[in-house]
Structure formats: structure tokens, C-alpha cells
A = this chain, B = another copy of it.
């Protein structure tokens, strides 16, 4: 694909290229702009109304039977179906004069944290039981990506002043190496697979359930500093088996409620000095975090928690029940088609007793780590691209090319077309 090659070339020296650009350029070739920003005016609105209208984007264009299905990113548009039904409970209204200041909480621990967002984060963890929040500082970041960088800044450099090594057991999230290395910082550097790293002088990223393969992880390096990326430790993806109480835990609204465009993550941090250094990073990087996003996220998290107090106790009010059912249905479909084709394999499901659902459940990971089991294809990402299915190849995760990561979080339409196409491969 020439467009992809061009994109790879112009991305330059990093070596590790996030596939966002490459795949988007491919898509852009095919999709016309008409999906965006069209349809202004008309339709009986008066002048004042029309003047004040702002149209939001709609994300990726709808999938059709023939179109490209982009499952490269974990774009959580599956959740839109839930949020279309929540009405005012999840709608945020921000008047022009609100939250204009840089400051959210001058007297608080984190000056740019909206107090209401912190309140809702703590309430949600108490509802779900997936993490201990008492005794932890809550920090907010522009997605957990910014918080990840804040953490490695806070824990670096090594005691002897050399760059701190950053490791994670393969297969690891493809962004860890690129985000660690893009500025060639003197404070830290990517040092690869934690399983083969032969020193304890490191920061270990422990992603559990793991992106890309859904595995349940514990730190493998004994005396390194562990950072727990718990973006997917929610009951729609895995059994909640304990309230996690690690020193540093990262979460994101994207994968919990589906609001990726809001770019909001949070961290629970035990140690005060580490938290202060993380705040310093976010001050220097972006002078705090969008208050509009924080207010919206507070409203969204509040709707999730309050939904469990509403009658009737139905899926339309209960996000995790809605999302869990969706994930179970999707995994059942995927496992059936993979069994039928007999050329692919998937990781085992990992049953566990879930303290939230109060029953034993199988894991239903946000990504399928799909392996090709025959000898004739070395580049499964490329093979699937020929079928107009965009995925992310295993080499990006420190694995081999015969495995890919496939998002399970896209719209029903995209997922179903993916299943149809997979079924046609034998």
C-alpha cells in the first residue's frame, strides 16, 4: 500500500510508528469528506438558533457490507447504543462563563482537578470494587497516555542519574515503546520485554487484563517499580476478583464508559511525592487538564453509578450489565467462527468469580488476540488488510507477525461485518 509506505517514511526516525497515521491515510483515500460537517442550515430553525449551533463530528463513517472495517484501534463506539438511552442524566450543559480559570481547586492536592470528578471517581470504584480508593491521591490526566508519561517522569531517572529502564512483558501494549522513546529523553528509555530484562533497576508496566491478549498479569520483575495499567479492569471485560491496591494504578474513561474522545484518565497514587511529581509533569506538559472534559466525565461516571440505584434494574440503566452482555455475545460469535474456520486460534477464556456480578464469569477481553495457525501466512495484518479488515500486527506488541490484535469494542455493524468476512476465510 503506497499510502501506508509514504506515511511510514514521513514518520521518520522513531522506528516504531503508531499505526494511526498509516491506517488513517489508507482510509482517507476511500472515504469522502461528506460524512463530516455537512447538512448546515435549513430545517425550519430560526436565525438565532442557527447562529448558535455547533455540529459535533460523528467519528468514523458507518460501515457497509463492502467497506473497510477498521478494528486497529480500541475505538469504543460499541457503548454509543447505551448512551443514546440515558437522556438528561448524562447530558452536560456548560454555560459560557463557567470554569474559565486555570484553577479547579487552589487549596486541594491537585490544583487542576475538578472536585466533582474526584468525587465521582471514588464513588465508581466503591460501586465496582475494582480498586481501593481510600488512602490514595486521585490525579487526572489527558487520557491515561498522559498519566503514563507523568508516571515514568515521576519515577526517573535511575538513582545513578542514568535513564531509567521501562519494561513490560511481551506481548505489551504497542504504545509503551513509542511513547517512552519519542522524545529520546535522558530520564528514561524503553528497554523491552520484562521477561528477558536482566536487572531489577526498572519501571515495569503491568497491564491487567493485558492489552493486547487479555491475560491477567502480575509484576514479573521482583524489585522494579511496578505501574499498574488497569484500563480494562472493569466487569464487562474480566471478573473483578479483588479491589486492587497497588502503589500506582491508571484508569481511563475511554475503556470504562466508552468516551474516548473526552481524553480523560485518572490515576490512584499512594505516595505523595510520586503524585506531586506527576502533577508537575502535567503542569509542564499541558498546564492542567480540560475542565470541560472533567465536568463531562464527572457527569458520565455519575450516570453510571447512579444508574445502579434506579428502578427498574434494567440494562438501560446499568452500564456494566449492558456492556457485559454485548461482550459475551460478541465473544460467542467470534469463538464460533474461529472454531468453524479451523485456521485461527484465540486465547482461552479465563473464568473467575466476579465480586461485582456475584457469579463466575469468563473473560471477555476488549481485544481479540487472533493467531493464524497455518504455515502459509507470515503477515496476518497484511493478509487481513487484503480482506479490508484493519488490525494491528503482532510485531508491534513484541510478538510475531502471525498474530494480530482486533478491537472488540466497535459498533455492532463493524463487528458483524468483521465476523462475516472472517467466516468466509477457510
Contacts and interface: CB of A to CB of B under 8 A. Distances in A.
Taken together, the copies of this chain in the complex come to 2
A116 B303 contact: no
B99 A143 contact: no
A43 interface: no
A97 B75 contact: no
A241 interface: no
A258 interface: yes
Interface string A273-302: 100110111011111111111011011101
User: Which of A92, A258, A298 counts the most chain B CB atoms within 10 A?
Assistant: A92
Contacts of A104: 36, 57, 59, 261
Interface stretch (A182-190, A205-213, A363-371): A182-190
A35 interface: yes
A379 to B, nearest CB: 24
Contacts of A142: 142, 286, 290
Contacts of A383: none
A92 B299 CA distance: 14
Contact of A97 (B21, B33, B84, B96): B84
Given A95-B91, A100-B259, A115 B145 contact: no
Given A102-B261, A178-B284, A260-B102, A96 B57 contact: no
Contacts of A75: 101-103
Given A10-B276, A94-B91, A100-B80, A107 B28 contact: yes
User: Which of A280, A292, A300 counts the most chain B CB atoms within 10 A?
Assistant: A292
Interface stretch (A48-56, A222-230, A396-404): A48-56
A77 interface: yes
Interface string A74-97: 011101100110111111111111
A119 interface: yes
Contacts of A27: 106-107
A312 interface: no
Given A60-B106, A178-B284, A261-B99, A88 B302 contact: no
Contact of A92 (B10, B54, B300): B54
User: Which of A55, A60, A94 counts the most chain B CB atoms within 10 A?
Assistant: A94
Interface in A133-160: 142-143, 145-146, 149, 153
Interface in A299-351: 299-300, 302-303, 306, 309
A80 B97 contact: yes
What are the nearest 5 A-B pairs in CB distance?
A59-B101, A90-B96, A184-B186, A83-B97, A261-B291
